[in-house]
Amino acid sequence: MYLYSKWIRVWHLINAAMFLILIVTGISMQYTDKENASYVVGFTKAVKWHNFAAIILVLNYIIFVTGNLLTNNGRYYRTGRKDFLSNLTKQFNYYSRGMFKGEKHPFPVTEERKFNPLQKLTYILAMYVAFPLLIISGIGLLLPEITIKTFFGISGLILTDILHITMGFFLSIFMVIHIYTCTLGAKPTSLFWGMISGYHREE
């Protein structure tokens, strides 16, 4: 089943590549010490690459949002059904118990339903909550002159940085889980190939 259009695949590839660069350089900036400078990317390089990858990521995010507004892909991110919570539980139970008992997937992939409820929730949180916060706080750190100086007596830069690092951390955790759940296809590699070829292989 052809499920991932070309623009989605290109967007996804760029997003993944930039996010990996951002994780490595972000950790380097936060944890580089004089003693361990050789184990991570040096601070100067890390700053340059982090800024570069961040700008590409923001442009890519704009493409994602615009694409979702202009194409059918946006419908996969809409929710609001009353049974959403019970569906979430069903999907969670499948991942934690059902799949080991040989039960069938409660929400098989179709052209109308690309994401299962758990996927949908995490993708919405990642792409429409964490990403905007990450981008806004990142802009605040890139241009500290425009960042609020103090907020209730606490430095605006600290709050911005904590928000940025926290969102970056949660999105990194999301990425780890995302990569792992992508091994849960018909074969451990089939979902990865699907994102390259555009075709989803039935389980």
Paired tokens of 18: 């930039």
Please, which residues have CB within 8 angstroms of residue 177's CB and are 6 or more apart in sequence?
Answer: 122
Paired tokens of 89: 């539980």
Residue 30 identity (one-letter amino acid): Q
Residue 135 or 165 with smaller CB distance to another protein: 165
- Min CB(184)–another protein separation in Å: 8
Residue 3 or 142 with smaller CB distance to another protein: 142
Cα dihedral 89, 112, 14, 130 sign? negative
Residue 113 or 178 with smaller CB distance to another protein: 178
Does residue 156 contact residue 148 with C-beta atoms inside 8 Å?
A: yes
Cα dihedral 64, 69, 71, 75 sign? positive
Residue 5 or 181 with smaller CB distance to another protein: 181
Instruction: Please count the helices (runs of H) and the strands (runs of E) in the chain.
Output: 7, 2
Residue 37 or 85 with smaller CB distance to another protein: 37
- Min CB(150)–another protein separation in Å: 11
- Min CB(188)–another protein separation in Å: 9
- Min CB(63)–another protein separation in Å: 20
- Min CB(161)–another protein separation in Å: 6
Q: What's the CA gap between 111 and 199, in Å, rounded?
A: 11
Residue 25 or 60 with smaller CB distance to another protein: 25
3: nearest Cα among 147, 113, 152: 113
Residue with tokens 């490595």: 24
- Min CB(85)–another protein separation in Å: 22
DSSP three-state, residue 6? helix
- Residues near another protein (CB under 8 A): 29-34, 37, 42-44, 47-48, 95, 99-100, 102, 141, 144-145, 155, 157-158, 161-162, 165-166, 169, 173, 176-177, 180
